Structure 1
Amino acid sequence: MRIVIAPDAFKGTVGAEAAAAALGEGWSRGRPGDDVVALPLADGGEGTLDAMARAVPGAVRVPVLGAPGPDGRPVDTAWLRLPDGAGVVELAAVSGLPLMAAPDAMRAHTAGLGTVIAAALGAGVSALVVAVGGSASTDGGTGVLAALGARFRDADGKELPYGGGSLAHLAAIDSTRLATPPPGGVQILTDVTNPLLGRTGAAAVFGPQKGACAREIAELDAGLARLATLLGGAPDAPGAGAAGGTAYGLATAWSAAIVPGAPRVAELAGLPAALADADLVITGEGRFDATSTHGKVVGAVLDLARRGAGVPVALVAGSIAAPLPAGITTSADLTRLAGSATAAQNDAAHWLRLAGATLAGRFGADRGAQTRRDPRDRP
């Protein structure tokens, strides 16, 4: 049988590639004769660059040294040159929340992402893909745009400091020196559909995980509203609130297109073709909840499996906190297998291997029972 393993990263514990390898090792222990294909995925957040580097033959990493991180400390990072001349940039690798010494919702910024984009532009990329998940900031993309030449000034004409907390003082925007986007345009990969403003916007929904208290959330939202008043665009567009409004900033100033990240990465990774002759696809993530089927890797895998040949889907998650949707036929919860969330996180690879072996035994038993019921079924 052919088994495709296509998980997202189990954030905070193990990356997508390591998760796929552990699940595959466990499955092969239980069913050593099966053909196991690993296709680790991402949704526009952390790991997107790695997933696309693996998926696209001839892709080359181009280092960028000393870019400003979200708190100003230098970060060594890279962008990806694709064989067709396009470039891929990952926000999480230079402006991501894990790069902060401590969360600072008001001062964290995206200037480093702008630095990496500028490097890709300087290398002559024909088009640009920007994966924006995992940000530390709520600056509306002003850090990116400032690094690309835009100027954000207060009422006295002084340039604002980086960070969403400065937007309350925004009085004027000068885009005359803003870099020109590449001729093939810009795509923004995101895993959320939130607008920029309001109770479902960037500050209200994602501010708390970036360290913002209730007062700071209100200030950040008001600052983003001020930015939208001056910059224009479509702050209510689905996905505009992604990465603290970075998607909004790039979409407005650069006419970038906001697209779902997970389906795009899955397509590049060759998942549709891999599912054509698969008997089962295993996907997973750190926490499965009500949002997992909307813009996330699990949802993208499930949709492709449904649209294809009706390939059954198995889910592995650090914890399962929502009912399983139609199409997911079996699952493994690492917290339950390990006995606690702490135990599961402390040795995620071990429990992923056990989950893979458990699913192999379960799937093999189910297939055996099916064969006994109807010997005409495919073995």
Structure 2
Amino acid sequence: MDFQHTEDRRMLADTLNRFISEQYGFETRDRIARSSQGFSSELWNRFAELGIIGALFDEANGGFSGGGFDIAVVFESLGRGLVVEPFLDTLIVGQAIARSGNEAQRALLGDLIDGSRVAALAHGEPDGHYELARVTARAQHDGNAWLLNGAKAVVQHGENATLFLVSARTNGDDDPEEGVTLFLVPRDAAGVNVRGYPKIDGGRAAEVTFVNVTLRDDALLGVAGAGFATLEYAIACGVLALCSEAVGAMDVAKDYTLEYLRTRKQFGVAIGSFQALQHRMADMLLEIEQARSAVINAAAALGAERNVRERAISAAKYSIGRVGALVAQECIQLHGGIGMTWELPLAHYAKRLVMIDHQFGDEDHHLERFAVLGRNRMS
């Protein structure tokens, strides 16, 4: 299999890297990440104009490409700049709509791609423990309408979203894959309550509750009770994106650390000349390349059958969680006390790497999931 990027992908990466370098410097990013909105609407529209959002979707759905490697290229560049705009949830919600939406729902993809609509995934719950099928929010059918009740946690950019993709259980117990149903819920629907807060790694998220929210049948995405497969695939795209973002962030953290080792002096010589620090740096570089290989494998497997895809996704997420923590720790330690300061960009890359591990399942969760999927394949 040829893992070399196509000319189009190289051009996409060059364009995005140049834009982020020129327009999204650390001071700009820090100001945006700490703002009351949590992202910049102006820059979000400019990303859309550059075709960056469109690169996450295929031509049949109004985009330009949308394959696993296209997602990886975009998010690796976003990770290099610690970009906080709502790319991740736009990808996840858009992929779910593209996979299971009817004609009217698929028309919403145009608004996502041109940046005029912000959508957010409302799936995680306070007691979900990373288990994708654990859904306690409930939706009951009554005539030609659904009554939705439940609470969702850590909804990215929830305050600014105009549309939520909500998972709810329409039959059965709280844990089986069967019975999970997906709904597209407008932010301004009666009974939708949003409480926003800042995140430790920049940007904002929200707790969202649904209290007797009445939805028409046209809010249903796909078939009632059969939404898990769509949710799983959409989140697989999101996990690939997160892993790619982490690789980009690791590369920048590594570069900052190499530069520091070359310029910081003790006893009249650069500390990078000390053999012990060289060994630590070499070990870290090898680990980053291992993580990059796992992400490449996940990108290649995104279009494969379910078990192959999900094992590759979990393998990548496990690798990113383990290596991301290592890179964050080593880079800060090699910088010494200055590595912890707010003014140094490195500290923000370290925080982002740690938090990526906890999105959609940490390394322990995905290691166990990888093993379970392997046993299922053998049985």
TM over 0.5: no
Larger helix proportion of the pair: 2
Higher relative contact order (CA 8 A, sep 6+): 1
- TM-score, reference length from structure 1: 0.28
